[in-house]
């Protein structure tokens, strides 16, 4: 590896660190404004979506839905498993729900609409304490990690940065 390429790789790495320390994100559940609904296929499932994303303490989840027809219930694991809507930890029904992920560990959400949870409208996200935890450790980084999940319109800076990081990653290491 030539010196120039080496130093550019170092720069890319520093930028990657900066990116990882950058401000908390707002993550739109399901990746689009129509994301909180009964999944029509397995690949559309919210947990499949969540598995392709990284959540760290300080990030917020954002749900968009018709407040007349749906809601978001934060529940414990048991109620998540059983789709039990009777005693949620929190209930949100304003149609534009934002929940800050304020601790590490799992968060469980189900739809409050009758029968929706049973049909798969449920979500578990596992929140990491720090984005540093996986930097450079993942043996096969996927593009998703660097593009990040879809972010709310307010965070355009973050997605720009994400694009930059993808370019830098490709340049510095020549791989995805
Ligand atoms: C749902 O949860 C409530 C309160 O925890 C409990 O009393 C009830 O039996 C549960 N219902 C089912 C169907 O599990």
Over pLDDT 70: what percentage of the chain? 67
Whether the per-residue pLDDT at 152 is higher than 70: the answer is no
Residue 75 half-sphere exposure toward CB, CA atoms < 13 A: 23
Q: Whose CA is nearest to atom 13 of ligand 1?
A: 84
Bridge partners, residue 109, by sequence: 74, 123
Measured in angstroms, how far is the CA atom of residue 16 from the centroid of ligand 1? 46
Whether the per-residue pLDDT at 137 is higher than 50: the answer is no
**Residue 11 CB: number of other CB atoms within 10 A?**
12
Whether the per-residue pLDDT at 37 is higher than 60: the answer is yes
Ligand 1 atom nearest to 82, measured from its CA: 14
Q: Is the CB of 82 under 6 A from ligand 1?
A: yes
E runs forming strands in the chain: 26-28, 55-56, 60-64, 72-75, 90-92, 96-100, 105-111, 122-128
Q: What are the boundaries of each domain within the chain?
A: 1-23+156-176, 25-154
Q: Is the CB of 87 under 6 A from ligand 1?
A: yes
User: In Å, how far are 26, 33, 153, 158 from 102, measured between CA atoms?
Assistant: 13, 23, 22, 20
Measured in angstroms, how far is the CA atom of residue 61 from the centroid of ligand 1? 27
Measured in angstroms, how far is the CA atom of residue 53 from the centroid of ligand 1? 31
* C-alpha span between 61 and 168 (Å, rounded): 27
Nearest to 27 by CA among 57, 54, 60, 49: 60
25-154 maps to CATH 3.10.28.10: no
Ligand 1 atom nearest to 84, measured from its CA: 1
Mean pLDDT of 133-158: 44
Mean pLDDT of 117-128: 96
Confidence category of residue 161, pLDDT binned at 50, 70, 90: low
Instruction: Write out pLDDT tens, residues 42-60.
Output: 777 999 999 988 999 999 9
Q: Whose CA is nearest to atom 10 of ligand 1?
A: 84
Measured in angstroms, how far is the CA atom of residue 46 from the centroid of ligand 1? 24
Q: Output the pTM of the full model.
A: 0.66
- Extract the tokens encoding 61: 């989840």
* C-alpha span between 154 and 163 (Å, rounded): 16
Contacts from 132-135 at CB under 8 Å and sequence distance 24+? Answer: 132/20, 132/21, 134/54, 135/16, 135/17, 135/20
Whether the per-residue pLDDT at 154 is higher than 60: the answer is no
């Amino acid at each position: 590896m030539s010196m120039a390429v080496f130093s550019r790789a170092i720069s890319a790495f520093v930028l990657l660190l900066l990116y990882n320390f950058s401000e908390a994100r707002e993550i739109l559940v399901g990746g689009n404004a129509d994301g909180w609904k009964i999944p029509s296929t397995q690949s559309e499932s919210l947990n499949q979506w969540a598995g392709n994303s990284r959540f760290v303490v300080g990030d917020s989840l954002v749900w968009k839905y018709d407040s007349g027809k749906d809601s978001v219930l934060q529940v414990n694991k048991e109620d998540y498993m059983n789709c039990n809507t009777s005693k949620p930890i929190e209930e949100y029904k304003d149609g534009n729900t934002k929940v800050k992920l304020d601790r590490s560990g799992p968060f469980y959400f189900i739809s409050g609409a009758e029968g929706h949870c049973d049909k798969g409208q449920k979500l578990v996200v596992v929140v990491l304490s720090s984005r540093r935890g996986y930097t450079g450790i993942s043996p096969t980084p996927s593009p998703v990690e660097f593009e990040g999940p879809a972010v709310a319109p307010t965070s355009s800076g973050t997605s720009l940065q994400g694009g930059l990081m993808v370019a830098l990653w490709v340049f510095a290491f020549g791989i995805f």
